[in-house]
Structure 1
Amino acid sequence: MPPRRAVTGRSQEPRQRFIEELRLLRAQKGVSLRQVGEALGWDWSLFGKMEGGQTIGSPEVAQALDQYYGTGDLLLTLWELALADPSQFREQYRRYMVLESEAVSLWHYAVGVLPGMLQTQGYARGVLAAGGSKGAELDRQVEARTGRSKLLASVDPPQFRTILSEAVLRRPMLCPEAGREQLEHLAKAAGQPNMTVQVLPHGPGLHALASTDVMFLRLPDGRTVAYTESALHGELVEETCSVERLQRAYDAVRDFALSPDESRKFIGQMLEEVPCEPSI
């Protein structure tokens, strides 16, 4: 195993340490990015993006690199630390937002809350406040989140599909009026020609995306990337094999979902169940 360097300066940052190790190990082995890709069976551009800090790849990739360089579980450990680094989430999310604005089509699955593009201000405020945001920061985040809906209302909007777990629709709001407003907004959105809304009822039970929100983006160059999000972190997924695995899981979920027409009726029935505020 190559000698380890002292961790100093920027190398104290988990993400940067991971990047530096990747560059150092490849330089010591004297191989090109293309040679690494050919040896491991991945597109060599992935390793270039990892060394450039654009992505940290997947645990499978880190493990394969450990085997290739003979470094035990060093890179996998550094990958796990980089994944937990808050700065990693911020950088990936910023890159995701850029890609989202360029996407020609989007498809999504929601396990916990509605996608930001479909949230009303009242709903977004409730979700963000529950996460700890308050004051001016809460106002700023609400504006940023609901502002994303402009993408779907542009002159030439992308096609957008969302599959909503029934739990998303039945989650009670602290403000009943905000809940009704959100359902009305969702029902209207489901009627737009560039939008498809489906509901996944409770019946199917557990599935591969049972605890994961995911958004897929089809980009102008034909690539598809994904962004997964759980309660603890979000991750931009660009590696082809990982995206395809997520797409297979998404397709399985879609097979269990109600049709768009049935979903609109389901949302309409839920609206009828929401009590109206009594007039004074």
Structure 2
Amino acid sequence: MPNRRAVTGRSREPRRRFAQELRQLRSSHKVTLRQLSDRLGWDYSLFAKMEKGETLGGPEVVEALDAFYGTPGLLLALWELALSDKTQFKEQYRRYMQLEAEAVSLWHYAVSVLPGLLQTREYARETLSLGGLTGADLEGQIEARLSRRAGLAEPDAPPFRAILSESVLRTRMTDADGWRAQLQHLLEGAPLGNVTIQVLPFNAGLYRLMSTDIWFLRLLEGGTVAYVESAARGELIEHSEAVEALQRRYDSVRDQALSPGESRKFIQCLLEETPCTTST
């Protein structure tokens, strides 16, 4: 087993430490990014972003790097530390928010909670409160969320498509009047020319994003990034191959969803508290 190197002078912040280790190992092995790409099969731009700390990559590429550099388990251990570090999740979310503001189109799949861009003030308050926010922090997050929502009504707003799992629409707020106002807001938002809402009903069966709440942002220069989130964390994915794989899953879900017109009828029947039937 190779000797462990001293870490004196290295960053103690997990994400930066991981990136530093990658740069040091490539330098000591005297290989270029393109040579690394040729040897391991991933695009050189992925390795460049990993060394800059812009992305962590996935476990497969990290294990391949461990094997190539002869550091069994070292890089994977550092990667796991970086992945579990709450600081880097905040950094990724901040970067996501910046990219969202610059996006020329957005699309989303909601597995359990309505996306912030479609939430009313009351719905935002209840969901954010469940996350533990109170007082000024809660009010600040609510205003930030509503300011994002208001952007959808601007003349130059980007197109936005939201696919909502039926479970999102079956999970009511504690306030019945607030929930009716939220459903009405969805009906009012759907006619906007840049907003498309589709419902994925339960009877569509199993599908490929069953536990994944995900955003896609198409950027001005033509690239697309994805942001996958759960109640505990979020991850910004910028590597093109990984994003494309997720997009294929999203497309299959869209094919199973109700049409925008059928989705509107579905939401209307929920608002009227009548049985909702679908032909899917």
Query: Do both proteins adopt the same fold according to a TM-score greater than 0.5, normalized to the shorter chain?
Result: yes
Query: Residues 160 and 196 of structure 2 are in contact (CA less than 8 Å); yes or no, is this contact kept in structure 1?
Result: yes
Partner of residue 145, structure 2: 145
Tell me whether 72-81 or 188-197 shows the greater mean CA deviation: 72-81
Cα distance in 1 between the residues matched to 2:211 and 2:158: 27
Query: Residues 106 and 215 of structure 2 are in contact (CA less than 8 Å); yes or no, is this contact kept in structure 1?
Result: yes
Give unmatched runs, 5+ long, in structure 1.
Answer: 275-280
Q: CA deviation at 1:8?
A: 4.7
SS at match of 2:272: helix
User: What pairs up with 1:1-280 in 2 under 5 angstroms?
Assistant: 3-8=3-8, 11-273=11-273
Q: CA deviation at 1:187?
A: 0.7
Cα distance in 1 between the residues matched to 2:178 and 2:63: 47
Query: Residues 164 and 199 of structure 2 are in contact (CA less than 8 Å); yes or no, is this contact kept in structure 1?
Result: yes
Give unmatched runs, 5+ long, in structure 2.
Answer: 275-280
Q: CA deviation at 1:178?
A: 1.4
Cα distance in 1 between the residues matched to 2:36 and 2:104: 32
SS at match of 1:6: coil
Partner of residue 278, structure 1: none
Q: TM-score, normalised to structure 1's length?
A: 0.93
Query: Residues 104 and 220 of structure 1 are in contact (CA less than 8 Å); yes or no, is this contact kept in structure 2?
Result: yes
Query: Residues 104 and 218 of structure 1 are in contact (CA less than 8 Å); yes or no, is this contact kept in structure 2?
Result: yes
Query: Residues 10 and 20 of structure 2 are in contact (CA less than 8 Å); yes or no, is this contact kept in structure 1?
Result: no
SS at match of 1:67: helix
Identity %: 62
Give the residue type in structure 2 aligned to 1:25: L
The 1:142–1:256 alpha-carbon spacing in structure 2 relative to 1, beyond 3 Å, is same
Tell me whether 205-214 or 129-138 shows the greater mean CA deviation: 205-214
Cα distance in 1 between the residues matched to 2:155 and 2:77: 46
Cα distance in 1 between the residues matched to 2:5 and 2:70: 17
SS at match of 1:222: coil
Query: Residues 36 and 44 of structure 1 are in contact (CA less than 8 Å); yes or no, is this contact kept in structure 2?
Result: yes
Query: Residues 101 and 151 of structure 1 are in contact (CA less than 8 Å); yes or no, is this contact kept in structure 2?
Result: no
Q: CA deviation at 1:10?
A: 5.6
Q: CA deviation at 1:216?
A: 0.5
Q: How many residues align?
A: 274
Q: CA deviation at 1:6?
A: 3.2
Cα distance in 1 between the residues matched to 2:219 and 2:135: 36
Query: Residues 62 and 76 of structure 2 are in contact (CA less than 8 Å); yes or no, is this contact kept in structure 1?
Result: yes
Give the residue type in structure 2 aligned to 1:94: R
Cα distance in 2 between the residues matched to 1:24 and 1:3: 15
Query: Residues 89 and 234 of structure 1 are in contact (CA less than 8 Å); yes or no, is this contact kept in structure 2?
Result: yes
Q: TM-score, normalised to structure 2's length?
A: 0.93
